[in-house]
């Protein structure tokens, strides 16, 4: 009798409970927990999903030590703690399901997220409801005991997973040796000694194929099984089927002395498939070690330094921050490292880390955690350690910000693989039935030959090599995308929506004029300090022209997104922002200082008395008219601005005819506008500055943030484009569409190989030498074609590597 929970053989002292048998009290306890929490669906996912829990309560007593707990925790504030564990026993979909439903087992667990490839779980929980030791015991009781090792906690870097390299090496070694042993069979050399040792050579080939199938190719069988169990025909299903048929038929042929089999084609197939995976892995590793989108957590921070007795500011790349450096964090900026608050009043929004949006107050001397976002005035902090970029990289993918844009999107490979699998099975069955009636002796050979020759190795390689190459080219040209699927979605975009300020305008070249009553010295000082604390493009432009060494730090600072900011110092209160925000209706109409011609302006009032406004004469980005004209050929263009329509006439001379322009759009209006476009079936790209456009960026099908020299990080965007390459946006569109064409051509090329091979297969004339030539040739040609084609289209588009 087997245990209902873990599937192990029950001993004589079987524990019976609820008409079920359990091998130990641990398994019985797990069943009771799941049953009481209405989670018995766990047992429907897999017959033996868990592992039999073996633990004792005293094993985790060290988790009562505060110092050890602090090292384990990633985040600890206001009763919310976050911890990540490596759990070796994670192995299937049921494991993921139970671990991501831990909140049903204990109300103190807020969320849990599994990283299946790394066998890692990240758990957010309430320290008031459940202690870390209790959490670990709960995991151990349900069969998922964490592997906790303190010796490596000072060094957060994990060891490199070389399993793919090992599998590729084994497949390559076997492929080379099997090909070498197969040469006499290919050319039917009838030499005496070769004939004597022929059977030995064949069984050697069989021996070399065993590690290829059961080690190197195991992931294809696992993926195919999971896909079938979920009712999905993924690309790994026909691949696994092809590997199985190749191995079984080849083994039968040498066992029955009917031939040499197809072990060479089998090992070559697995080798080239793994080569494609290795290339894909190296592509992402390449992006990780170059300056990719992760460098924007944030791209730069403001560091304070002393020169000639004066404290000055400088923008430095975030990697250059060291322990002890003093940096300033402005309103809405992300804190890039753990730090101590030195000056200012901090209101930290940790929703990026915990999902809870209520800001927390912090005082001088308090510790601030990486990933928090300042909401209020400027603060000065001291770095406790260099930036841990890997931690912030994890935060980019945190479930708090995850909105699955791919839910309705299937990549090209999976779309084709479903039809391909049905077609291959159909051809194999029809051909097999035909030969049963015509020449029964050939029926089995024909049926298996079709499945062998039609294995979609080339199809599986086409997309990874094409998109991987293009992802590298984009990265070298300063468009940093989150993943390769974004390239496919860019190719589908039919509507491009641009923000104006900070996106199509070039803030550092704007001309600014003041119109109004002269500001007092105190007002100028507070104005400078207030603008210094803001991260809005207009605020940064205005701050750069003021006296930066003679400013007052606000006592109270509040920024109203899309409207302006309100700030106080002693008895002085300033309001800075849009006309509707700063001026009441009477002032707006009665003030003789109001310019009758509306411009992009920042209005100022002092103690509720209107003072005047700074008018911005925007300088649009170089090459903007040409870019918009280029994009308008294939996409609908829309300008969506939060500013007033003072620039409408000037913009009308720049944008192509028929371009829609909307002004006075608040962040919420932009998001709703994108939703309406999508409800009409449009595929929308939003191009913004990453500050006030976060909602629209997240809602759009593709969100691209334009980066200048300050923090523009937003977890809502799909990619970040260096402002210097803004003119090349149209070329990135062209490359994306051409990449899809390359993939389609690769599929056609693969189809040609399959048609040729199927011709041999259905006629019953498929010889090992034919399969040995066609299968590797199809893979090699696809790799060479996609690599060369992406380089050619990049060169033709004048997109090259620029350091």
- In angstroms, how far is the first alpha carbon of the chain from the final one? 66
Other C-beta atoms within 10 Å of 190: how many?
8
Compute the average pLDDT of residues 318-325. Answer: 83
Strands 600-606 and 495-498: unpaired
Report the range out of 351-365, 460-474, 780-794 with the highest average pLDDT.
Answer: 780-794
β-strand pairing of 660-662 with 479-481: unpaired
Rounded distance, CA 463 to CA 469, Å?
10
The total of other beta-carbon atoms located within 10 Å of residue 151's CB is: 6
Query: Helix crossing, 457-476 with 236-255: angle to 10°?
Result: 140
CA distance 368 to 237: 49
The answer to whether the beta carbons of residues 104 and 114 sit under 8 Å apart is no
Residue range 513-553, pLDDT digits in tens? 888 888 888 898 888 888 887 877 678 778 877 766 677 77
- The sheet carrying 73-77 orders its strands as 73-77, 80-86, 120-126, 109-115
| 468 vs 394: CA distance, rounded Å | 21
Name the average pLDDT for the chain. 77
* Count of all residues that appear for the chain in the document: 803
pLDDT > 90 fraction of the chain, expressed in percent and rounded: 13
Q: What is the C-alpha R_g of the chain?
A: 32
**Which range is most confident: 136-145, 178-187, 306-315, 565-574?**
565-574
Q: How many CB atoms lie within 10 A of CB 157?
A: 7
228-242 mean pLDDT = 75
Query: pLDDT tens digit string along 100-127?
Result: 888 888 889 988 888 776 788 989 899 8
Grouping H, G, I as helix, E, B as strand and the rest as coil, residue 681 is coil
The residue among 151 and 315 whose pLDDT is bigger is 315
For residue 99, count CB atoms less than 10 angstroms from its CB and return exposed for 0-12, middle for 13-18, buried for 19 or more: buried
pLDDT digits (tens, 9 = 90+) for 440-488: 877 877 887 777 777 666 677 777 778 878 888 888 788 888 777 888 8
CB-CB neighbours of 25 under 10 Å: 11
Predicted confidence at residue 47, as pLDDT, reads 47
CB atoms within 10 A of CB 218: 12
Q: Give tens-digit pLDDT for 767-777.
A: 666 666 777 77
Confidence band (pLDDT; 50, 70, 90) for 690? low
pLDDT over 50 at 408, yes or no: no
Closest to 331 in 3D by CA, of 577, 131, 102, 162: 577
Instruction: Report helix, strand and coil shares of the chain as percent, to nearest 5.
Output: 50, 20, 35
Nearest to 515 by CA among 629, 596, 419: 596
- Evaluate whether 412 touches 387 at the Cβ level (below 8 Å): no
DSSP string, 513-538: EEEESPPPHHHHHHHHHHHHH--SHH
Asked whether 413 and 460 are in contact (CB, 8 A), the reply is yes
- Cβ(422)–Cβ(706) under 8 Å? no
State mean pLDDT over 398-419.
Answer: 56
| C-alpha to C-alpha distance for 694 and 691, rounded to whole angstroms | 6
Q: Answer yes or no: is pLDDT of 392 > 90.
A: no
What span, in angstroms and rounded, lies between the C-alpha atoms of 181 and 197? 11
How far apart (Å, rounded) are the C-alpha atoms in residues 30 and 710? 52
| Residues near 707 by beta carbon (within 8 Å), at least 6 away in sequence | 296, 299, 690, 720, 721, 722, 723
- Put residue 73 in one of left, alpha, beta given phi > 0 → left and psi -120 to 50 → alpha: beta
499 vs 227, higher pLDDT: 499
699 or 155, which is more confident:
699
Mode of pairing for the β-strands spanning 479-481 and 346-349: unpaired
Average pLDDT over residues 197-220: 89
Q: Is residue 592's pLDDT more than 50?
A: no
| Spatial CA neighbour of 270 closest among 168, 138, 419, 418 | 168
CA atoms within 13 A on the CB side of 58: 0
Q: Could you read off the pLDDT of 553-565 as tens digits, one per residue?
A: 788 888 887 688 8
Pairing status of strand 702-707 against strand 636-640: unpaired
Two structure tokens written together for 212: 């290829």
Q: State the Cα–Cα distance between residues 308 and 656, nearest whole angstrom.
A: 52
Q: Is the peptide bond preceding residue 451 cis, with omega within 30 degrees of 0?
A: no
- What distance in Å separates the CA atoms of residue 471 and residue 721, rounded to the nearest whole number? 13
In whole angstroms, give the CA distance from residue 769 to residue 766. Answer: 8
pTM score: 0.60
Find the helix or strand (DSSP H, E) in which 105 lies.
none
693 phi and psi, to 5 degrees?
-105, 15
Domains and CATH numbers, the chain: 15-141 (3.30.70.100), 163-289+413-466+775-792 (no CATH), 298-386 (2.70.150.10), 474-504+621-736 (3.40.50.1000), 511-617 (3.40.1110.10)
């Amino acid at each position: 009798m087997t245990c209902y929970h873990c599937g192990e053989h029950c001993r004589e002292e079987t524990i019976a409970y609820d008409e079920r048998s359990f091998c130990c009290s641990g398994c019985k306890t797990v069943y009771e927990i799941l049953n009481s929490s209405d989670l018995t669906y766990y047992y429907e996912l897999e017959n033996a999903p868990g592992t039999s829990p073996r633990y004792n309560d005293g094993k985790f007593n060290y988790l009562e030590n505060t110092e050890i707990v602090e090292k384990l925790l990633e985040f600890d504030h206001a009763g919310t703690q976050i911890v990540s564990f490596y759990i070796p026993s994670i192995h299937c979909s049921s494991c993921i399901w139970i671990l991501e439903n831990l909140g049903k087992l204990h109300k103190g667990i807020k969320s849990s997220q599994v990283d299946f490839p790394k066998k890692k779980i990240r758990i957010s929980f309430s320290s008031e409801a459940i202690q870390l030791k209790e959490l670990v015991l709960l995991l151990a009781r349900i069969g998922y005991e964490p592997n906790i090792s303190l010796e490596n906690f000072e060094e957060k870097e994990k060891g490199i997973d070389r399993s793919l390299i090992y599998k590729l090496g084994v497949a390559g070694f076997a492929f080379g040796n099997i090909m070498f042993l197969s040469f006499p069979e290919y050319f039917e050399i009838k030499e005496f000694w070769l004939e004597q040792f022929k059977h030995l050579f064949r069984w050697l080939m069989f021996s070399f194929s065993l590690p290829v199938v059961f080690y190197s190719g195991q992931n294809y069988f696992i993926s195919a099984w999971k896909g079938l169990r979920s009712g999905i025909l993924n690309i790994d299903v026909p691949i696994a089927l092809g590997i199985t048929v190749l191995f079984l038929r080849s083994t039968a042929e040498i066992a029955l002395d009917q031939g040499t089999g197809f072990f060479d084609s089998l090992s070559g197939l697995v080798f080239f498939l793994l080569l494609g995976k290795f290339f894909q892995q190296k592509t992402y590793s390449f992006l990780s070690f170059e300056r990719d989108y992760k460098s924007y957590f944030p791209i730069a921070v403001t560091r304070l330094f002393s020169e000639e007795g004066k404290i000055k500011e400088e923008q430095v790349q975030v990697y250059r921050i060291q322990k002890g450096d003093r940096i300033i964090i402005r309103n809405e900026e992300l804190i890039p490292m753990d730090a101590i608050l030195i000056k200012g009043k901090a209101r930290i929004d940790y929703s990026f880390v915990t999902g809870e949006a209520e800001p927390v107050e912090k005082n001088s001397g308090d510790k601030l955690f990486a990933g928090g976002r300042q909401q209020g005035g400027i603060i000065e902090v001291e770095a406790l350690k260099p930036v841990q970029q890997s931690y912030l990289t994890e935060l980019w993918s945190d479930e708090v910000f995850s909105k699955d844009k791919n839910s309705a999107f299937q990549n090209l490979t999976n779309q084709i693989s479903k039809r391909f699998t049905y077609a291959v099975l159909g051809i194999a069955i029809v051909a097999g039935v035909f030969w049963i009636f015509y020449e029964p002796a050939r029926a089995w050979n024909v049926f298996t030959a079709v499945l062998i020759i039609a294995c979609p190795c080339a199809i599986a390689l086409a997309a990874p090599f094409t998109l991987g190459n293009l992802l590298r080219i984009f990265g070298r040209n300063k468009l940093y995308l989150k993943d390769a699927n974004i390239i496919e979605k860019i190719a589908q975009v039919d509507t491009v929506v641009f923000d104006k300020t900070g996106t199509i305008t070039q803030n550092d070249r704007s001309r600014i004029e003041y119109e109004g009553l002269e500001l007092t010295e105190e007002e100028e000082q507070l104005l400078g300090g207030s603008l210094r604390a803001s991260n809005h493009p207009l605020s940064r432009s205005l701050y750069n022209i003021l006296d930066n060494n003679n400013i007052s730090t606000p006592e109270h600072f509040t920024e109203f997104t899309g409207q302006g900011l309100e700030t106080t110092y002693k008895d002085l209160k300033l309001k800075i922002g849009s006309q509707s925000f700063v001026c009441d209706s009477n002032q707006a109409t009665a003030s003789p200082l109001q310019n009758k011609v509306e411009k992009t302006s920042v209005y100022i009032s002092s103690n509720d008395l209107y003072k005047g406004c700074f008018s911005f004469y925007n300088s649009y980005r170089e090459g903007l008219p040409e870019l918009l004209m280029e994009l308008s050929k294939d996409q609908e263009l829309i300008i969506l601005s939060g500013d007033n329509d003072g620039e409408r006439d000037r913009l009308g001379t720049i944008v192509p005819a028929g371009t829609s322009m909307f002004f006075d759009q608040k962040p919420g209006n932009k998001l709703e506008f994108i939703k309406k476009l999508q409800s009409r079936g449009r595929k929308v790209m939003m191009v913004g500055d990453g500050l006030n456009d976060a909602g629209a960026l997240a809602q759009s099908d593709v969100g691209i943030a334009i980066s200048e020299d300050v923090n523009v990080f937003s977890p809502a965007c799909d990619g970040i484009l260096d402002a210097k390459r803004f003119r090349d946006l149209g070329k990135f569109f062209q490359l994306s569409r051409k990449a899809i064409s390359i993939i389609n051509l690769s599929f056609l090329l693969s189809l040609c190989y399959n048609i040729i091979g199927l011709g041999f297969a259905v006629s019953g004339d498929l010889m090992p030498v034919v399969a040995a030539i066609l299968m590797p040739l199809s893979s090699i040609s696809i790799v060479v074609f996609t690599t060369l084609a992406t380089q050619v289209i990049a060169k033709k588009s004048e997109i090259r590597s620029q350091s």
